[in-house]
Amino acid sequence: MKQYNFNAKVALVTGGIKGIGRAIAIALLKNNAKVVVCFNQDTFAAKDMEQSLKEQGLFDFLILQKDISSRGQVRELLRAIEDKWHQQVAYLINNAGILKQGNFFELSDEQWDRTLAVNLKSAFILAQECLPKMQFGDAIVNISSVGGQTGGDLASDYAASKAALISLTRSLARIASKQGVRSNAVAPGWIETPIFNDKRIEELKLEAKTKIPLGRMGRPEEVADAVLFLLSDDASFITGHTLNVNGGMYFG
């Protein structure tokens, strides 16, 4: 993997204790960023993450349990970051997301609202809270999804949230450019993470052989590579873009 230097600035990775977020957090720590990750429920995975980072000799991190769909909890999170490092968030990675697949006609109002709150509203709240203090050269990356580009018959709430996240990314690119901050999205295809249970992963692995031109599911580290590129100065003239990391599943 390419080496970057994120100059000991603070990166916030929402939902960074497992799956794609965890890979992003580890990659950032290995490239000289201070990293804060938050999670919602899974204290077991959070402990595992903490132990694993320490075993890898990575110590410049903070792990906090906060629901990022709540503005109050986001403010607590940002205060904790400031208290620890006396620095502001320079790199905001809106990664946390939820997906529950099922029949469209059984999708409840409650599920619709929760999915939109976690996958979309959180990115709005975090951008609104972080952006005023971000500096020239800082960057935002939102983790969208191929589902937001193609629609999804099994998760229309999720697909709508991820499509809107691309729109929010573009709005933020216009708003943030005035202060020299870039905003981009990454749209992963099928990535092997705990968002799917083991049975679903086995099904997707089989389907990938025919549905994905590169013939396989992706790895979280392959998404992290794209995120680090977009955060880095190598992408200094790229903003408002959505980078597909999907093995050729969708080209738009």
Catalytic residues: 158
| Choices 14-22, 84-92, 101-109, 225-233; region in contact with ligand NAP by CB under 6 A | 14-22
Spatial separation of the C-alpha atoms in residues 81 and 87, rounded to whole Å: 7
**Closer CB to ligand NAP, 4 or 247, in the complex:** 247
Say what angle helices 220-231 and 19-29 make with each other, to 10 degrees: 50
Spatial separation of the C-alpha atoms in residues 100 and 113, rounded to whole Å: 13
**From the centroid of its chain, how far is CA 249?**
20
User: What residues contact 33, with CB distance under 8 A and at least 6 apart?
Assistant: 6, 8, 9, 10, 11, 60, 91
Minimum Å distance from CB 15 to ligand NAP? 2
| Using rule CB under 6 A, residue 89 touches ligand NAP | no
Binding mask 114-133 for ligand NAP (x = CB under 6 A): ----x---------------
Spatial separation of the C-alpha atoms in residues 190 and 111, rounded to whole Å: 22
Q: Are strands 182-188 and 61-65 parallel, antiparallel or unpaired?
A: unpaired
Minimum Å distance from CB 179 to ligand NAP? 26
| Using rule CB under 6 A, residue 19 touches ligand NAP | yes
| Choices 10-18, 25-33, 105-113, 133-141; region in contact with ligand NAP by CB under 6 A | 10-18
Spatial separation of the C-alpha atoms in residues 137 and 232, rounded to whole Å: 9
Judged by CB under 6 A, how many residues of this single chain contact ligand NAP?
A: 29
Beta strands in the chain (DSSP E): 10-14, 34-39, 61-65, 89-94, 139-143, 182-188, 242-245
Out of 20, 92, 141, 168, which residue is the one contacting ligand NAP (CB under 6 A)?
Answer: 20
| Using rule CB under 6 A, residue 92 touches ligand NAP | no
Out of 9, 18, 34, 121, which residue is the one contacting ligand NAP (CB under 6 A)?
Answer: 18
Contact 99, 158 (CB under 8 A): yes
Out of 27, 36, 63, 68, which residue is the one contacting ligand NAP (CB under 6 A)?
Answer: 68
Spatial separation of the C-alpha atoms in residues 121 and 134, rounded to whole Å: 20
| Choices 78-86, 104-112, 133-141, 191-199; region in contact with ligand NAP by CB under 6 A | 191-199
Spatial separation of the C-alpha atoms in residues 233 and 213, rounded to whole Å: 31
Of residues 146-185, those binding ligand NAP (CB under 6 A): none
Q: Are strands 34-39 and 242-245 parallel, antiparallel or unpaired?
A: unpaired
**Closer CB to ligand NAP, 147 or 173, in the complex:** 147
Of residues 32-51, those binding ligand NAP (CB under 6 A): 38-42
Q: How many residues does the chain have?
A: 252
Minimum Å distance from CB 198 to ligand NAP? 13
| Using rule CB under 6 A, residue 143 touches ligand NAP | yes
**Contact positions vs ligand NAP (CB under 6 A):** 14-15, 17-21, 38-42, 67-69, 95-99, 118, 143, 145, 188, 190-191, 193-195
